[in-house]
Amino acid sequence: MTDQAPESVDPEDRKILTLARSARARNSVPEGAAVRDETGRTYVAGTVALESLRLSALQTAVAMAVASGAESLEAAAVVSEAAELPAGDLAAVRDLGGAGTPVLLAGPDGTLRSTLDAG
């Protein structure tokens, strides 16, 4: 899937894209991310850049899901200027969601650039 307008994306996936975009803008961070767990709960995060701790937005959202008791993920979304996601981000999603979990990557305007498989 490439360069899709937000309105052509599944409504549940559009929701996590919107949440990720909002987190990025609200916190003035390079990336925003959101994940949806097996019960439909969502976890939203931005990039963490402390002197002693660095986490991507997606790693932070996955950590929040784990800390809240999520057992698996249905989908993940990242809003970023980056054209690709680091392997560590996909690994974090794979660890909780499994190899087939879709990861939506969108630009800052919310346009879906690609859907990646966490595997």
Q: What is the tens place of the pLDDT at every residue in 78-87?
A: 999 999 999 9
Residue ranges in the chain whose pLDDT is less than 70:
1-7
CB 94 within 8 A of CB 61: no
Furthest C-alpha separation in the chain: 40
Please provide the distance, in angstroms rounded to a whole number, between the alpha carbons at the two ends of the chain: 16
Q: What is the tens place of the pLDDT at every residue in 4-21?
A: 454 578 999 999 999 999
Measure the CA–CA gap between 63 and 71, rounded to whole angstroms: 12
Q: List the beta bridge partners of residue 87.
A: none
Positive or negative torsion for Cα 10, 36, 79, 25? positive
Q: What is the pLDDT of residue 8?
A: 74
